[in-house]
Amino acid sequence: MDNLFQEIIFWSLFAVVVAGALLVVGQRDMFRSALALIVTFLGVAGIFAQMNAEFLAVAQVLIYVGAVSVLVIFAVMFTKDLAHAPRSTNLQPVVIVAVGLLFIALCWAIFQSQWNEMPSNVPPYLENVFVDSTAQLGSAIIGDYVMAFEAVGVLLLAAVIGALALVRDK
């Protein structure tokens, strides 16, 4: 019964994410695309939560839904009067074929590969990691990945300085 519940949750989130993504690329109206993007981000946050990545799920909601989507909606509203073009470029048939081939190739690679899957009953020390994944993720970021952490801090500083340089008066 527990497994059935997990299956229902997964397939519902799958449907939400795929429907949201199709609406993002299929809508002509930019504002509706931005709203469908929010739905997709929330669905992906649910997928993360189901995979024992709770910190990442909350970070996804805070950063993507809370900041990135709001910025996108601001940009759409600033440029709304100028958007009169049709939806797709002239390359659309070529792109459909190419992306379709890529999709088939990736699916074939996924089903052909021998993944070293973790057994369903995980060993006890791993079970603790997945139950308390936020604390372990914190240890990993500050421990093994401290260089990447510092580099991302410098990147954010550069982004803020760049944004200020874009908007300052001469």
Partner 1 sequence: MLERYLILSVILFCIGLYGALSRRNIIAVLICTELMLNGVNVALVAFSRYTTPAFMRLTPVDTSDAAKVLDGQAFAVFVVVVAAAEVALGLALIIALVRSRNTTDITEINLMRN
What minimum distance in Å lies between the beta carbon of 17 and partner 1?
A: 6
Q: Which amino acid, one-letter code, is at 168?
A: R
Cβ contacts of residue 44 below 8 Å, gap of 6+? Answer: 17, 60
Taking residue 105's Cβ as centre, other Cβ atoms within 10 Å add up to 10
Cβ proximity to partner 1, 8 vs 128, nearer residue: 128
What minimum distance in Å lies between the beta carbon of 2 and partner 1?
A: 14
What minimum distance in Å lies between the beta carbon of 8 and partner 1?
A: 13
- Cα three-residue angle 167-32-104, rounded to 5 degrees: 105
Q: Cα separations (Å) of 4 from 1, 8, 11?
A: 5, 6, 11
Cβ proximity to partner 1, 8 vs 139, nearer residue: 139
Cβ proximity to partner 1, 1 vs 84, nearer residue: 84
What minimum distance in Å lies between the beta carbon of 44 and partner 1?
A: 5
